[in-house]
Homo-oligomer: A and B are copies of this chain.
Amino acid sequence: MIAQQYKEMLNGKSVIRQLSEFATKRGQEIGYENVFDYSLGNPSVPCPQEFTDAMIRLLQTKNPNELHGYSPSLGLPAFKEAVAKSLEKRFQIPYQQEHIYPTTGAAGALAHALRAITVAGDEVLTFAPFFPEYNPYINLTGATLKVVPANTSDFQINFQAFEEMLNKKVMAVLINTPNNPSGMVYSTATIKKLASILVEKSAEYGHSIYLLSDEPYREILFTGVDSPCVSRYYDNTLVCYSFSKSLSLPGERIGYVAVNPNCTDAATIVNMCGQISRGIGHNCPPSIIQLAAAEVLDLTSDLTVYETNMNLIYDTLVELRFDVIKPGGTFYIFPKALEEDANLFCEKAKKYDLILVPSDSFGVPGYFRMAYCIDTEKVKRSLNVLKKFVETEYPDRK
């Protein structure tokens, strides 16, 4: 008999995906250039030319059997070495090869890290607003995701709610900074306070509470933002990273788990990931992508467009008197909707071919997300449409 659990999931279609499909369909009708599609977080800038060049060079020069052969079960040394060296240089944490486990993107990283440090019945806490895929990522492991309500004043952490929800069953806390969907970066003060609570509660409960730091947007930071390296503040940190955004390679499935060298059982956790992989059928990211990424991982795509877009959008939102906090990174912004029900708000925007994502699935009602990984020229055109939409639909607001 087929597994009912997964069959039932088929009914719960993702809001983001539905909106994206609407945008595609609408684009076929009126031309995609006329649809202002802020639904999907797909990078809009190409990968660095150096990545393409590295791929071609590998294909042209390397023995195909070596190039396309199986990775060792813990990944290709060249990739792990390059990641460890890069992290050590940037963050002054003594990562070595044995602390790095290559994965198929951040989803693969979380799949391994979660299974290494939680078992069925454990709780994992995360903070609203949060990436809705955390629900299946965590709840399908046997552990349970619990969401700490948002601090809507600045989208840092709601520490009061967090401390109330902490209990002995919490084995991991999952953070995502820079944050999807808010665009906020947790400040040094936030990370320090979080770390001190985790140290205190680990001692009280008699077990380590691991910090899972999901960092696919780490490289997309805006001018002047306080952006602490999470792992420097808490030893029991597992960084889940993806090159999807920094190198614009979301389809090529390349990322890693980096276990802080001072983490309890650090090397054991990495070795366990190799075992976990057997159960969930990964066997490392593709060999050629590991090798090419190893050559270019200190580069990024030209990410400046995201800050340009953010400033244009933020300024217009302020001008239109939206309640909005200026993002510190990512390619998302998360303003308050102009009516209580963000779904109605976004439904009205659709009439203007403005595709905005209502916030309910992010764990905070009444807001909307714009993913501004689109051409700047289109952003500019969309802002005129946004003005028209607001003035027409909400003429009487104070």
Of the candidate stretches A219-227, A271-279, A332-340, A363-371, the one touching chain B is A271-279
C-alpha spacing A65/B64, complex, angstroms: 26
On chain B, the residues within 8 Å of A279 by CB distance are 111, 136-137, 139-141
C-alpha spacing A136/B277, complex, angstroms: 9
C-alpha spacing A278/B248, complex, angstroms: 21
A11-55 CB mask vs B (1 if < 8 Å, else 0) is 000000100000000000000000000000011111100001001
A251 touching B287, Cβ below 8 Å: yes
B2 touching A278, Cβ below 8 Å: no
Looking at the complex, which one of B117, B119, B171 makes contact with A5 (CB distance below 8 Å)? B119
Looking at the complex, which one of B65, B67, B253, B280 makes contact with A44 (CB distance below 8 Å)? B65
Q: Which residue of B lies closest to A17 (CB)?
A: B73
C-alpha spacing A9/B279, complex, angstroms: 11
Task: Kindly state whether residue A382 has any CB partner on chain B within 8 Å.
Answer: no
B69 touching A52, Cβ below 8 Å: no
B280 touching A140, Cβ below 8 Å: yes
On chain B, the residues within 8 Å of A387 by CB distance are none
Task: Kindly state whether residue A265 has any CB partner on chain B within 8 Å.
Answer: yes
How many copies of this protein are present in the complex? 2
A251 touching B288, Cβ below 8 Å: yes
On chain B, the residues within 8 Å of A42 by CB distance are 65, 69-70
Looking at the complex, which one of B2, B71, B275 makes contact with A265 (CB distance below 8 Å)? B2
Task: Kindly state whether residue A68 has any CB partner on chain B within 8 Å.
Answer: yes
Task: Kindly state whether residue A149 has any CB partner on chain B within 8 Å.
Answer: no
Task: Kindly state whether residue A304 has any CB partner on chain B within 8 Å.
Answer: no
Task: Kindly state whether residue A60 has any CB partner on chain B within 8 Å.
Answer: yes
Of the candidate stretches A83-91, A102-110, A348-356, the one touching chain B is A102-110
Task: Kindly state whether residue A207 has any CB partner on chain B within 8 Å.
Answer: yes
B70 touching A251, Cβ below 8 Å: yes
On chain B, the residues within 8 Å of A17 by CB distance are 73
Looking at the complex, which one of B71, B107, B115, B280 makes contact with A111 (CB distance below 8 Å)? B280
On chain B, the residues within 8 Å of A248 by CB distance are 64-65, 68
Known contacts: A2-B272, A141-B279, A279-B137. The answer to whether A250 contacts B116 by CB under 8 A is no
Give the residue among A44, A60, A208, A253 with the most B Cβ atoms within 10 A.
A253
C-alpha spacing A207/B3, complex, angstroms: 13
B116 touching A6, Cβ below 8 Å: yes
A283 touching B104, Cβ below 8 Å: yes
Task: Kindly state whether residue A249 has any CB partner on chain B within 8 Å.
Answer: yes
B56 touching A107, Cβ below 8 Å: no
A254-294 CB mask vs B (1 if < 8 Å, else 0) is 00000000000100110110011011111111111100000
Known contacts: A7-B272, A70-B42, A280-B281. The answer to whether A252 contacts B287 by CB under 8 A is yes
Q: Which residue of B lies closest to A373 (CB)?
A: B65
Least Cβ–Cβ distance between A29 and chain B, in angstroms? 20
Interface residues of A in 75-126 (CB under 8 A from B): 103-105, 107-112, 115-119
Least Cβ–Cβ distance between A52 and chain B, in angstroms? 5
Give the residue among A5, A112, A116, A283 with the most B Cβ atoms within 10 A.
A283
Q: Which residue of B lies closest to A250 (CB)?
A: B70
Least Cβ–Cβ distance between A91 and chain B, in angstroms? 24
Looking at the complex, which one of B10, B70, B110, B271 makes contact with A268 (CB distance below 8 Å)? B10
A136 touching B65, Cβ below 8 Å: no
What are 14 A-to-B residue pairs whose CB atoms are below 8 Å? A2-B116, A6-B115, A52-B59, A52-B64, A68-B250, A70-B250, A103-B281, A108-B281, A108-B283, A109-B281, A140-B280, A251-B284, A253-B286, A282-B282
Which 3 residue pairs are nearest across A and B when measured between Cβ atoms?
A111-B281, A140-B279, A251-B287
